[in-house]
Amino acid sequence: MNTAVCLISYNRPEYFQKTLGCLINQTTHDGFDFFLYQDYCEETPKLSERCVELFMSSALPRKKTTVHPQNVGPAVNMFVAKEECFEKGYDRVVVIEDDVLTHPRFLLLVRQLLDRYADDEGVGYVRGKDAIQNPMNNYAFWRRSWDIIRDPYEEYVEFIAPYKYTDLPQEIIDALPNKFGALTQDGIKMKVFRDAGLKRVETSRPKTKHIGAVGMHFTQDHYVDKGFDKVKIQDWADIILPVWNQPELTNKCLESISRYTKFPYRLIIIDNGSDEETQMVIMRHTDSTEHAIIRNEENLGWIKAINQGIAESDNEYVVFQNNDTEVTEGWLTKMIGSLTEGVGAVGPKTDNVEQYQGMVEGEGEIETSKLAFFSVVFPREVVTEIGGLDEDFGMGYGDDDLYCHQLKKAGYKLKINTDVMVKHVRRASTGEGAQEMINKNVVLLNEKLREL
């Protein structure tokens, strides 16, 4: 069954319109049904009506609206939303408030987190990290999580429900911390998760931005100080893969990545004007919205393709990968594990003895002065600092040597993880005229190193 996306709205169409625009521009709506739970304001009914109008006239698919007869407040509104969606048979619910901007891949990333941790009973909910660290303006969880928090949440809702949300008596507000251990419904949810020994999982880079007013009791520090917050950070990697023909090698490469990559990743494939057979291979391995394909009309070369991929990339780790490689079990997890403080890039061993990394001796992690970029992983901030590859090297060769020197000049270490094997058909990706290009680029590299 699809995942329910519940939008919790009040009388703020100026905010809601922006929130709605971000959701309309998501990379996928497949597998999601959208529900607006609209709080009503008797003093400004046209504002509430405008929110409903914006939602129902939007391009979002599969949508339905529930309008409360009065201002019940976010706690009651959210309770009703989750209760109704789980009663309808949904097993997973995403909650987004009406003043939250979302990254274009927000829904995709949340779905991946829900899939990944569905059977992990130590996780209570997942979310996209917020740019201003509001921990509960978006979250997603399973029916099993609702079963845990429902009763104490309902007790809180029943306690405040008799009163108008914007006019809660002071004695009720004063009683909340002692009665429930928290001041807000957000805090109560987090306390219940804490008491149950559950943690949340969120993206390490911000995927949402809260644009509404924020009270001090909503901030991240408040929850951490109270001991309510247990967080596991989930990172992603972008695997940038330039492709020019070679359907057989490309197929083996993509099959190995699919089979042996447990670390969450997104493929960014740059098709350098490949033939139809190769295009079919690419399509077969990227038939979902999780991945990105950039198509060039002609072969722009490996370097420009990598730079195109860097421009598209936005995840925590960046991988440069040749399409004439085959990865092995646990390759990416192990290489990322070697990116400790001060390390700018990590590469694997290879079976190709013509390459430096095919002749390296030793075990475990080995510090090195150079890496061949047939398979290499960087932290996002390193690539941002150093920039892309030098396009003066044309179709390729020498660019990786220069980049390694740039990394070392910036104070970063380079490592080879010898526990990782990546098979590489050397120079299969360079095509005809390779030796002439190599000779030319060796001269260019020496010139640039002297200037560095």
* pLDDT beneath 70, residues of the chain: 132-136, 166, 213-231, 288-289, 353-354, 426-434
**pLDDT at res. 228:** 45
pTM recorded for the entire structure: 0.77
Range of the domain at 365: 237-451
What's the chain's length in residues? 452
Residue 221 and residue 152 share a domain: yes
Residue 229 and residue 371 share a domain: no
**pLDDT at res. 215:** 43
Q: How many beta carbons lie within 10 A of that of residue 54, not counting itself?
A: 17
**Region class of 411: left (phi > 0), else alpha (psi between -120 and 50), else beta:** left
Distance separating alpha carbons of residues 113 and 119, to the nearest angstrom: 11
Residue 388 and residue 433 share a domain: yes
What b/e sequence results for 2-17 when a residue is b if at least 16 CB atoms lie within 10 Å of its CB, and e otherwise? ebbbbbbbbbbbebbe
Sign of the torsion angle spanned by Cα atoms 320, 321, 322, 323: negative
Residue 130 and residue 96 share a domain: yes
Residue 345 and residue 315 share a domain: yes
Q: Say if residues 354 and 285 touch (Cβ distance below 8 Å).
A: no
Residue 220 and residue 180 share a domain: yes
Residue 84 and residue 65 share a domain: yes
Q: Of 217, 234, 251, which residue constitutes the final position of a domain? A: 234
Residue 36 and residue 78 share a domain: yes
Q: Of 190, 208, 234, which residue constitutes the final position of a domain? A: 234
Residue 366 and residue 287 share a domain: yes
Contacts of residue 323, defined as CB under 8 A and 6 or more positions apart, other chains included, come to 241, 242, 243, 244, 246, 249, 250, 253, 429
The torsion defined by the Cα of 212, 315, 104 and 296, in degrees rounded to 10, comes to 150
Looking at the structure of the chain, the number of domains it has is 2
Distance separating alpha carbons of residues 80 and 270, to the nearest angstrom: 46
3-state secondary structure of 68: coil
Contacts of residue 115, defined as CB under 8 A and 6 or more positions apart, other chains included, come to none
Give me the CATH number covering residue 373.
3.90.550.10
266-to-241, 289, 314, 439 alpha-carbon distances in Å: 11, 10, 10, 35
Per-residue pLDDT tens over the stretch 355-413: 778 888 778 899 999 999 999 999 999 999 999 998 988 877 788 999 999 999 999 99
Residue 12 and residue 153 share a domain: yes
Alpha helices in 69-161 (DSSP H): 73-87, 106-116, 143-160
Residue 312 and residue 211 share a domain: no
CA atoms within 13 A on the CB side of 379: 18
Residue 118 DSSP class: T
Residue 250 and residue 181 share a domain: no
Q: Of 234, 253, 285, which residue constitutes the final position of a domain? A: 234
Torsions phi, psi of 330, nearest 5? 75, 15
